[in-house]
Amino acid sequence: MRKAVIDMGTNSTRLAVAELVDGKMQMVYTQVAETRLGEGMGAERIIRPVPLARNVEAVQRFVQTAQLLGAYDVRITATSAVRDAVNKEAVQQAISNAVRIPMEILPGQVEAQLSYLGASGDFIQLGKPLAVLDIGGGSTELVYPAEGGIHGASVNLGAVRLLEHPELRSQMDDILQGLKEDSLQADCALIAVGGTNTCLMAMELGLTRYDGTKIHGQVISKERVDYWCNTLLHMTQEEREQIPGMKAKRADIMPYGVLILQKTMEMLDISQVIISDKGLVYGLLLSEFR
C-alpha cells in the first residue's frame, strides 16, 4: 500500500510518496514546488491571496500525482507560515475545499521530532549522539539527545523571515539560544536538513542538476559554511542565480538560510555538519507506516 504526504512550508511545498517493501519503507516519488507561502505576511501575520493561490494549485496537483501513483492515503501538513498566520483557519478551509482532505498544522516541537525521525536513521551507524537541525523558511528546529530524553525546540527564525524582516538579523544570536536548553554532548554529530542545506551542498559540489543521492551524507566544514555565507551576502541576486547548484527561486533567501546555519554552528561549537536529503516529509512518511 502506497502513502503520500504533502507538506506546506514557508518557502516550499513538498510531495513524497512511499511504500513498504519487505517491511522497509521505500520512496517512490518526490517533488518540490517553490510556492513561497509566507511571502509578504508582514507584522500582520496574514497569508496573502496570491501565495495562498499558488499553494492551493500546488497541493491540488500533488494530490492528483499521488493518486495517479496509487497513493490514496494522503496526509497534508503545514508548518511555520500557517502556524503563525492569524488567518490559518481560512488557509485550512481553502485547502480542504480544493482537495477534500483536511490540512494539519504541525506544532513546532512535533515538526522538530519528525525531522529528527526522518534525518537520523541513516546515520545511527556513526555510533555518536545525533543532533538534527532543520532550517526552514519561517522557523528553525533543533533536536538532540539530552538528559532524560530527546530535546526538541523550534524558533521563529527562517530564511524567508530574515529576508523580509531585516530587523531580526541583529537579534539572531538571542533568538537561536531558544534552540539550546541543554549542552550537546562533546562528540555529537550535527545533521542538517531542509532546502537551505541541500542547496548549499549542491553549490559546494558544483552540481548542475540536483541529485539527492550525491548530496545525502556529504560533510561540509564550518570554514566552508563561513565562505559561502560571506560570498552569498556580498553577491547580487543575479550573481547568486549563476552559481552551479543554486535554485533560481531560492537565490534571494539563501544568504539568510546559510547565515542561520553559520550562527547555529557557532552557538553549538560544531566544526562540521552532515547534510541529509531526508527530513520532515521522510519523517512524516515513517510515522504513517508505523
Give the whole-angstrom CA distance, residue 279 versus residue 56: 23
Q: What is the pLDDT of residue 150?
A: 82
What's the pLDDT tens digit per position in 168-191?
999 999 999 999 877 777 789 999
Domain CATH code at residue 43: 3.30.420.40
CA distances from 41 to 44, 46, 138 (A): 7, 5, 11
Residues 145 and 220 in one domain: yes
Residues 127 and 260 in one domain: yes
Name the 3-class secondary structure at 252.
Answer: coil
What's the pLDDT tens digit per position in 122-168?
998 898 999 999 999 999 999 988 877 788 889 999 999 999 999 99
Q: Is residue 290 part of a domain?
A: no
Give the whole-angstrom CA distance, residue 261 versus residue 196: 9
Q: How many domains does the chain have?
A: 2
Percent pLDDT > 90 in the chain is 85
Q: Which of 58, 76, 106 is the last residue of a domain?
A: 106
Q: What is the pLDDT of residue 215?
A: 96
Residues 102 and 132 in one domain: no
Cell reading at 103: 490540512
Q: Is residue 254 part of a domain?
A: yes
Range with lowest mean pLDDT among 18-22, 71-75, 125-129: 125-129
Q: What is the pLDDT of residue 149?
A: 78
Kindly state the average pLDDT of the residues 83-99: 96
pLDDT of residue 289 exceeding 80, the answer is yes
Residues 69 and 139 in one domain: no
Q: Which domain holds residue 265?
A: 109-280
Q: Is residue 285 part of a domain?
A: no
